[in-house]
């Protein structure tokens, strides 16, 4: 079998690359939802949520870049257009959401969708001996689980 530049079998990496491109697509729509909410939040929690949404989309930009770079490292092309993102994302664009609690709820749902994808990618990476992807996904999972816990606390 042939291997890519980092010594992983190309054939075995194809499924993982597909998963990572799906994760990238979902991540990009999640990011845009955060920007939307940051720009359009209003009400008594404006200052708190405006800052939190900015914090989350800033973290998301780093995550997006790392996923795209991992796809490149595995020898493939990451999705790079909004058409590809929308077509391959389970996360939907959040249009014209005005209620701040609904915004937080959507973000939590988006994060749970990303977590599902990251867990699947982690499992696949472990099965194929791809420690780099496994490590990246493990870090992302830990980070997102904490954010989901915090957002859930917001509703209590």
58: CATH? 1.20.1260.10
The C-alpha angle with vertex 64 and arms to 136 and 9, in degrees rounded to 5, equals: 50
Is 68 inside any structural domain?
A: yes
Structural domain span for residue 15: 10-154
Mean pLDDT throughout 118-124? 97
Mean pLDDT throughout 57-63? 98
Is 4 inside any structural domain?
A: no
Say if residues 64 and 27 touch (Cβ distance below 8 Å). Answer: yes
Q: How confident is residue 7, by pLDDT bands cut at 50, 70 and 90?
A: confident
Is pLDDT of 12 > 90? Answer: no
Is 91 inside any structural domain?
A: yes
Is 79 inside any structural domain?
A: yes
- Domain count along the chain: 1
CA dihedral 14, 145, 90, 41 (to 10 degrees): -140
Is 2 inside any structural domain?
A: no
Mean pLDDT throughout 77-97? 97
pTM of the model: 0.94
**Dist. CA 17–CA 8, nearest whole Å:** 12
**Dist. CA 126–CA 61, nearest whole Å:** 25
Query: For residues 9 and 111, which has the higher predicted lDDT (pLDDT)?
Result: 111
Is 114 inside any structural domain?
A: yes
Is 111 inside any structural domain?
A: yes
Mean pLDDT throughout 31-48? 97
Is 69 inside any structural domain?
A: yes
């Amino acid at each position: 079998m042939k291997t890519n530049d980092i010594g992983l079998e190309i054939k075995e990496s194809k499924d993982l690359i597909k998963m990572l491109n799906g994760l990238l697509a979902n991540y990009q729509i999640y990011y845009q939802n955060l920007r939307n909410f940051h720009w359009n939040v209003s009400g008594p929690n404006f200052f708190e949520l405006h800052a939190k949404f900015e914090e989350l989309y800033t973290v998301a930009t780093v995550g997006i870049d790392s996923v795209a770079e991992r796809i490149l490292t595995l020898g493939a092309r990451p999705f790079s257009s909004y058409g590809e993102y929308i077509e391959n994302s389970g996360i939907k664009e959040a249009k014209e959401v005005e209620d701040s609690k609904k915004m937080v709820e959507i973000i939590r749902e988006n994060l749970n969708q990303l977590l599902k994808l990251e867990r699947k990618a982690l499992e696949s990476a472990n099965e194929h001996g791809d420690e780099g992807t496994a490590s990246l996904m493990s870090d992302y999972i830990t980070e997102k689980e904490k954010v989901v816990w915090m957002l859930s606390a917001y509703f209590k």
